Chains A and B, each alone.
Chain A
Amino acid sequence: MSKPAQTQRAARDRVGRQLAVALLGVAFGIIIVKSQVASWFRINAMFRFEEFHMYGVILSAIAVAMLSVRLIAALGVRTIDGEAVVIAAKPADHGQWIGGFIFGCGWALTGACPGPLYAQLGAVGPVVLITLFSALAGAWLYGRWRPHLLH
């Protein structure tokens, strides 16, 4: 294969890959709207212990994800590129409890964690951009103040 053809194929691969990821996102968006995981009322009912729905979603998602990851490890399944699967380690510092508490407050106010926020933008409309741009501003402020925060 000539060099330009290889480069073209690599570029097509990249686009194909991102489109596959985008389609997964579409599926995720449909799932969280159809199951009302992206609903303010469901989040509120969860925090008020009025419904099992959200707990069922989160717990069964964890169980299926855990089983899948273990199967991948046990069977030595590789990625479509033939790479070994890498599980990224989450950071471990004071951010998990301080930042976690701060995010939890926002979760209850907006009735959305980040995934549902994007789904609400599509399902409800541009009014959700107010919340989304505020979230971007919050992330930006975190980056700006990071050197002064306890980690």
Chain B
Amino acid sequence: MAALLSSPWPWYVAGPLIGLMVPALLLISNRFFGISSSFRHACAALWPAGIAYFDYDWKQEVWNLWFVGGIVVGGWLTAHGLGSPAPLLPLQWLGWPGVLSWQGLLMSVGGGLLIGFGTRYAGGCTGGHAIAGLATLQRPSLVATLAFFAGGLSVTWLVLPLITGSAS
């Protein structure tokens, strides 16, 4: 049991559990699984600035903020209690103080901007499009998922080697 908790979980355990988030959210609060909407709700709550896209009653969608708050807690619990030996990030670029190097800033600030802008432009992320959208056979989600991979492959093969100075 201790070994099970401290070693990385295989895909055939994690994948189905992640898939179950979709029916769980539907049955508990009739909401469609998705995470990047939380960026929109946070903007609407913190700094709507009179922008039409943020002019709606975000409190109706507050479940999404509870969900992502839970994810932060789950991440903390895992790292501090359940044992997560392998580092999650290349700390020479995405930990202190490496994040302040040009490579680190490009990956964190540059990457973060692209995530926020891109997911909202696409109307969803890996959760809402690739998992929930494809599971309900929605055509826009197939386009989005193919585009996610096109972008990810381009950066991984063409841009990352320039940043990391090797084949990473």
Given the known A-B contacts A123-B78, A135-B116, are A101 and B147 also in contact in the complex, defined by CB atoms under 8 Å? yes
At the interface, yes or no: B1 with Cβ under 8 Å from chain A?
Answer: no
Beta-carbon contacts of A98-110 to B below 8 Å, as 1s and 0s?
A: 1111111111111
* A132 (CB) vs chain B CBs: closest residue: B112
Counting chain A residues whose Cβ lies within 8 A of the other chain, the interface size class is: 35 or more
| Min distance, Cβ B80 to any Cβ of chain A, angstroms | 8
Chain B residue at minimum C-beta to C-beta distance from A141? B117
Size band of the interface chain B makes with A: 35 or more
- Interface 0/1 of A64-94, CB less than 8 Å to B: 1111110110000101110101111111110
For residue A59, which residues in chain B have a CB less than 8 angstroms away from its CB? 15
Asked if B118 and A104 make an inter-chain contact with CB atoms under 8 angstroms apart, the answer reads yes
Q: Are B28 and A123 in contact (CB under 8 A)?
A: no
- Chain A interface SS verdict (over half): helix
Contact A97–B14 (Cβ < 8 Å): no
B118→A101 contact, CB < 8 A: yes
B118 and A62: CB pair below 8 A? no
Within 8 Å CB of A121, what residues of B?
72, 75
With both beta carbons as reference points, the residue of chain B lying nearest to A117 in the complex is identified as: B115
The answer on a CB contact under 8 Å between A138 and B18 is no
B1-36 toward A: CB 8 Å interface, digit per residue (1/0)? 000010011111111111111111111111111011
Complex: how many Å from CA A128 to CA B94? 8
Q: Report B154-165 CB contacts with A as 1/0, cut-off 8 Å.
A: 111101100000
Q: Determine how close the nearest CB of chain A comes to the CB of B96; give it in whole angstroms.
A: 5
Give the docked Cα–Cα distance between A11 and B47 (Å): 27
Given known pairs A18-B62, A60-B11, A110-B112, the reply for A87 and B151 (CB within 8 Å) is no
Q: In the bound complex, do residue A109 and residue B110 qualify as a contact, i.e. CB atoms below 8 Å apart?
A: yes
Q: Which of B84, B89, B134 is within 8 Å of A111, CB to CB? A: B89
Question: Can you give 7 A-B contacts (C-beta < 8 A)?
Answer: A27-B74, A30-B74, A39-B88, A57-B15, A99-B118, A102-B114, A123-B88
